[in-house]
Amino acid sequence: MCHLDQTLAWTADQLHNWYQQSVPELSDDDKNLAASIQWLVKGDAAQRALLAWGMGWKPAQETSGREWLYPYLIYGLLDPYAAVRFNAWKSLQTLPGFSDFNYTYTADADKLGEFVGLGYQKWWNDVRDKSHEFEPKTGLDPAGHFQQDVLSRLRRERDDKPIVLAE
């Protein structure tokens, strides 16, 4: 959970270098897209909740950087599961400029959409470092827009089966 910005190929290489583990056959996404993005967008509800929480964890932010997390946490505010929305909101509040972000994770779909629009607008216009160039492995273009083809494809692959998480 510390290297949220890394691909599974990077992880496989590290395991190979450190522990002589064989490098498995990997998909193009596993080679080119951060695993956290894949799981946050196309994973099941448990994976999405865990990743939304992990993006607010200070050691992960320090290791992976923060700038690229904003659009994904804002995206998470629309998740069909309230637990994912709650974790995305709490993690978003750990990022500069969003500590007081007003959001109700139990709101209806229209209101959730309004919150997302306000959050994205706030990040894009007021918080985003306009000189920052985003890496392709984050699923964002250099300016910070979602790579729509990637996001749409991952969203179509989402595991939407109902899930009950017992605490």
Which residues lie across from 140 on neighbouring strands?
Answer: 146
Query: What secondary structure does DSSP assign to the chain, as a single string?
Result: ---TT--HHHHHHHHHHHH-PPPPP--HHHHHS-HHHHHHHHS-HHHHHHHHHHTT-HHHHHHH-STTHHHHHHHHTT-SSHHHHHHHHHHHTTSTT-TT----TTS-HHHHHHHHHHHHHHIIIIIS-TT----GGGTB-TTS-B-HHHHHHHHHT----------
**27: Cβ contacts below 8 Å, ≥ 6 apart:** none
Tell me: pLDDT of 134 over 90.
yes
pLDDT score recorded for residue 165:
74
Tell me: pLDDT of 98 over 80.
yes
Band of residue 153 on the pLDDT scale cut at 50, 70, 90: very high
Mean pLDDT of the 105-125 span: 98
CA distance 99 to 59: 18
List pLDDT tens digits, range 155-167: 999 998 988 877 6
Tell me: pLDDT of 23 over 90.
yes
Tell me: pLDDT of 119 over 80.
yes
Percent of the chain predicted with pLDDT > 90: 94
On whether the pTM is more than 0.85, the answer is yes
With vertex at residue 105, the alpha carbon angle to CA 116 and CA 74, rounded to the nearest 5 degrees, is: 30
Which phi and psi (to 5°) does residue 109 adopt?
Answer: -60, -40
pLDDT score recorded for residue 7:
97
Band of residue 4 on the pLDDT scale cut at 50, 70, 90: very high
List pLDDT tens digits, range 70-85: 999 999 999 999 999 9
